[in-house]
Amino acid sequence: MGIDLSKLSIRTAHEHLVKGDFSPVELAEAYRSSLSSRNTKINAYLEVFSDIKDQASCVSEQLKSGSLLAGIPLAIKDNILIEGREVTSASKILVGYKASYDATVIKKLKSAGAVFLGRTNMDEFAMGGSTENSAFGVTRNPVDEARVAGGSSGGSAAAVAMDGALAALGSDTGGSVRQPASFCGVVGLKPTYGRVSRHGLMAMGSSLDQIGPITKCVDDAEILFNAMKGVDPYDATSRDFSNIDTKKGKFVIGVPRDFTDQDGIDPSVRKNFEESIVRLKAQGCEIRDIALPTIRYSLAVYYIIMPAEVSSNLARFDGVKYGLHKDGGGLLTDYLETRGQGFGKEARRRIMLGTYVLSAGYYDAYYDKANAVRELITQEFKECFSSGIDAVLTPTTPAPAFAIGEKAADPLAMYLADIFTVTANIAGIPALSVPSGTTLVSGKKLPLGIQFMADYGREDVLFSVGKMFEEAVQ
Amino acid sequence: MLEASDIKKLAQLSRIKLSASEEESLRAEMDSILTYVAEVQEVSLQTKGKRAPEHRNVFRDDAEPHGSGVYTERVLSAAPFRDGDHVKVKKIL
């Protein structure tokens, strides 16, 4: 039974399953054998589940009822809870911890009949842009194994790019779905803040986090998004956006030139970005230069608010309630030892930074000010969208995937890779990264991506423009 | 500029034990990061003030509690040390 995995999308796989060209078990087995041949080198998966076949053999009801996700093999980021399975956020502090409940998105996907292949590698607690901060080794980029797959959802993006899963879930706090998707040549969506429940997602920056799909095409991202969205009583930040009309007619795309023309952007990215604009024009979009003067402060705002929230969220890992326990002789010394040894370097650094910006003497200058600037950025986006702009266009990343180790010694250089993606998290708006071509670096065709950002709850605009752009690229 | 004593104090507040060499490297790294993020202070906020956030806390109805002990075992099984139906901790006082 030969299934050409490289040609499958969720929709075409569904059609094959309905027609009986192959069964859900055969599809799952095909993915298992495909991923096991590459995972040793790529390290996309931290664990491949042993019951894939059992899961795939009981989805016939959902398939009959027409669920597009019935029998679709997915990879799940290691910070999303699946009841009874180990989940570690790629941290030593949670080794052996088993989830005590299903995340809301998992519950929804289970009832849709999705098959979970395994849990994927990531930067520890989703902190990083390369998976080099995983306690379990880096994930290599399937396109060029000397390079990073991006992060923090690097394992999920690599799993999809290497045909080790038909689609995957990641989480995006500052670009952690879109940046690895761009580095690996796949599609990544960060939904509107509040659109997808985070119940059962390990919290990193609670005012920023969203779960999002990583897929081979925009249509697949839309299918997964539709299966996951919705208000959840277990996530107080989830909101209802269901009354929004679907956009019709010509799309107006805004390009914030001051932001996209700044220094530090790779020439290949600039060139590709200009080509992408030409493609969108050819597809009938109107391109408008726009000014969003405050968004250039997004990254600074992000690296204040996010560590502040990290320092609070990670306080729960204390060696008492769950996870690793290191004995230090007394209660306080137990905490110091457990957290000192259990957290990796980046987690320790961000907890320290967060503690600093929240401390009494510096709160006003950093945290309070960052929140005020965040409000200003949000207002700028609102005004932009209400002036008739449907989507704001930027590159997804300032450069293609970097070499493993290249930025490891300089945290600030690593942070700068988030420059285009963090803005959407700061404002809470939805954003989609779509592959936009490749650039030849040392004999390898490295993927590039562009990012569309839309108004609150307007994922429909992202899907329409994204599909249009996909067609233009092909 | 962060002092070595600042790093020690922050580590203590963060409940994290650091090695002497990490204290030193963190001092330099945090300095460069804080210098970068301090650019938010350039932004003039004279024209627009802070507004109430759109997202508000939602409280569930104080009704239909789950049965007593339904989740006890599931939750306690994750604790490194337990004593019956309690999480076991060291003496605080």
DSSP string across A12-70: HHHHHHHHTSS-HHHHHHHHHHHHHHHHHHH--EEEE-TTHHHHHTT-HHHHHTT-TTT
Chain A closest-CA separation from residue B4 CA (Å): 13
Number of residues written out for chain B: 93
The per-residue pLDDT for A1 is: 52
First-to-last CA distance in chain B? 37
A369 DSSP assignment: H
Q: Which of A256, A268, A272, A308 is nearest to A423 (CA)?
A: A256
Catalytic choice (A67, A89, A152, A464): A152
Mark yes or no for CB contact A412/B51 under 8 Å.
Answer: no
ipTM: 0.92
Q: Tell me the two tokens of residue A273.
A: 């970005």
Pairing of strands A444-454, A210-215: unpaired
Three-class SS state of A403: strand
CA distance readout (Å), A142 to A117, A244, A279, A383, B38? 18, 38, 27, 40, 37
Extended beta strands in chain B, E state:
82-83, 86-87
Is A268 one of the annotated active-site residues of the chain?
no
* Tokens standing for residue A230: 């919705």
CATH code where residue A377 lies = 3.90.1300.10
pLDDT at res. A249: 81
Count of domains in chain A? 1
Tell me, rounded to whole angstroms, the distance of Cα A303 from its chain centroid.
Answer: 18
Q: Tokens representing A460?
A: 């429909």
Q: Can you tell me which residue has the tokens 């390990």? A: A202
The answer for A 383-412 residues in CB contact with B (under 8 A) is 411-412
Q: Determine, for residues B15 and A330 on separate chains, whether the beta-carbon distance falls below 8 Å.
A: no
Half-sphere exposure in the Cβ direction for A236 (13 Å, CA)? 10
Q: Phi/psi at A441 (nearest 5 deg)?
A: -130, 125
| Backbone φ/ψ region at A162: left (φ over 0), alpha (ψ -120 to 50), beta | alpha
Rounded distance between C-alpha atoms, residue A190 and residue A384, angstroms: 19
Phi-psi category of residue A28: left, alpha or beta, with phi > 0 → left and psi -120 to 50 → alpha: alpha
Give the residue from A211, A209, A179 showing the smallest Cα distance to A426.
A209
CA–CA dist A226, A221 (Å, integer): 9
Going through A32-185 in order, the beta strands assigned E by DSSP cover 45-48, 73-77, 115-120, 140-141, 144-148, 167-172
Task: Give the pLDDT score at A412.
Answer: 86
Mutation test of the interface with chain A: which of B37, B64, B86, B91, choosing the one with the most A Cβ atoms within 10 A? Answer: B37
- Pick from A294, A429, A310, A308: nearest CA to A374: A294
Structural domain boundaries, residue A10: 1-474
pLDDT at B44 (0 to 100): 82
Q: Which residue of B has its CA nearest to A351?
A: B14
Question: A176 catalytic, yes or no?
Answer: yes
Distance, in Å, from the CA atom of A149 to the CA atom of A404, rounded to the nearest integer, reads: 9
List per-residue pLDDT tens for chain A, 474 residues long: 589 999 999 999 999 999 999 999 999 999 999 999 999 999 999 999 999 999 999 999 999 999 999 999 999 999 999 999 999 999 999 999 999 999 999 999 999 999 999 999 999 999 999 999 999 999 999 999 999 999 999 999 999 999 999 999 999 999 999 999 999 999 999 999 999 999 999 999 999 999 999 999 999 999 999 999 999 989 989 988 877 777 778 999 999 999 999 888 999 999 999 999 999 999 999 999 999 999 999 999 999 999 999 999 999 999 999 999 999 999 999 999 999 999 999 999 999 999 999 999 999 999 999 999 999 999 999 999 999 999 999 999 999 999 999 998 888 888 989 999 999 999 999 999 999 999 999 999 999 999 999 999 999 999 999 999 999 998
Which candidate from B34, B42, B45 shows the least CB-CB separation from A376?
Answer: B45
pLDDT of residue B56: 64
Summarised one tens digit per residue, pLDDT across range A410-463 is 888 889 899 999 999 999 999 999 999 999 999 999 999 999 999 999 999 999
pLDDT digits (tens, 9 = 90+) for B29-42: 999 999 999 999 99
